[in-house]
Amino acid sequence: MVQQFLNVKDNPMPKAVFFTCIDSRMIPTRFTQTNVGIFRNAGNIIPHSQHFLDELNSNEPAALELGCVVNDIRHIIVCGHSDCKAINLLYKLQDEEFSSQENRRLSPLRSWLCTHACSSLEKFQQLEITDYNKPLIFQAETPMRKFVAYIDPDNKFAIEDKLSQINTLQQLQNIASYGFLKRRLETHQLHIHALWFDIYTGKYITSVEVLKDLL
């Protein structure tokens, strides 16, 4: 590891901006075997641009701009994982009392999830209505480019893990909502990817593997 730091200290060349969870079990440079610029937060969430305000801003958009605009990195990867404690909590937030304004004031994590992960929960509820059998439609690089995703079609994962997979895919739309990335995404100078890691088996699912068709 020391040698790796010595190699990159003067000329870092990350291949991707990599968003993942703060869970210590997630070591992306090991299971992807790549050099990436890693950004961690609870639930690997990138807030939608509609939440961007000067006085109430998070640093995920700044990481996107620094990596993809300032440093011209061409790939963004969002990586979720199984048994995500933040997503397990998000699943419980379907209960109105649990997600009440009073409880949100007592918990920064609940507030973070209620503010920035509602779209993931809404997508999950769409899947839940179909008894987890129908595909979901997600936006890709632009509003005109969408894809159909089958979530855990073999029903191998827990319900919370299904939500985690949905949340990972939903971040692609959130990323694409930022105006400073629009031209790069439209001209294919920038590409966004989803990756979901099963911490118990060491296997991962790429966004390509959950796609059934492109619209």
Domain total in the chain = 1
Please indicate if the annotation marks 75 as binding a ligand.
Answer: no
- At 111, which CATH number? 3.40.1050.10
Please indicate if the annotation marks 188 as binding a ligand.
Answer: no
pTM: 0.88
Please name which of 70, 68, 49, 67 lies closest in space to residue 58, comparing C-alpha atoms.
49
142 is in which domain, residue-wise?
A: 2-214
Please classify residue 54 by burial: count the beta carbons closer than 10 Å to its beta carbon, then call 0-12 exposed, 13-18 middle and 19+ buried: exposed
Determine the Cα–Cα distance for residues 110 and 4; give it in Å rounded to an integer: 37
Question: Tens of pLDDT along the chain (215 residues)?
Answer: 445 545 555 556 678 899 999 988 887 767 666 666 789 999 999 999 988 776 567 899 999 999 999 999 999 999 999 999 999 999 999 988 777 787 778 889 999 999 999 999 999 999 999 999 899 999 888 888 888 999 998 899 999 999 999 999 999 999 999 999 999 999 999 999 999 999 999 888 876 554 433 33
Q: 86 - beta bridge partners? A: none
Please indicate if the annotation marks 23 as binding a ligand.
Answer: yes
Please indicate if the annotation marks 81 as binding a ligand.
Answer: yes
